[in-house]
Structure 1
């Protein structure tokens, strides 16, 4: 019985620490280029870039809401309207280029936001 109380207490303390966390999330690494340009490798890379873009957008949006700074850097959301839907090597390369162009613009903004606000306590 005593052990169960200790376990319960430790879980409550852990939960409290998680809930009371006031720092912003860390930035994850950008996916690396595949070694080959096969359909499978490019498709996997395209999906990873898409996930990375979603991560950057969520990171920037949540941080903006958290810090409520009127001087928060401006950023745009990725526009998927230009993406090609066919599953060919050419279309995958086209989509990858669009993703890389967006990341080239948005990643430095996210890095700046992280440096600027990661030490703040609210």
Structure 2
């Protein structure tokens, strides 16, 4: 099962990379310089909002994991809120890239990445890829 999860995640990462590469070439978007697993904030307000979103998600996530494991709530509830978190973070980043960045076209890449991730997670849930729902 862990191998399957790893392969699905690897496939999604490859798909995201391909989509970003194609869009950046088509729309002539310069490559953004950032470190791997870095938090590149556009400005101080962006940093505050994104940290608030992450801490909120962490607290909600702990509570939801407890409910899923011990109160037998469906895993789809957790995954649905995970999708909402992905969307919230991406919209916040895209907004600050669009309004305050030197390269506002980066917002297009951020939103396309969000779309691929949300589509992938939704597909995994809808098609019950890992037999969570049975």
Q: TM-score, normalised by structure 1?
A: 0.41
Structure with the higher helix share, 1 or 2: 2
Q: Which has the higher contact order (CA 8 A, sep 6+)?
A: 1
Which protein has the larger Cα radius of gyration, Structure 1 or Structure 2? Answer: 1
Q: TM-score, normalised by structure 2?
A: 0.38
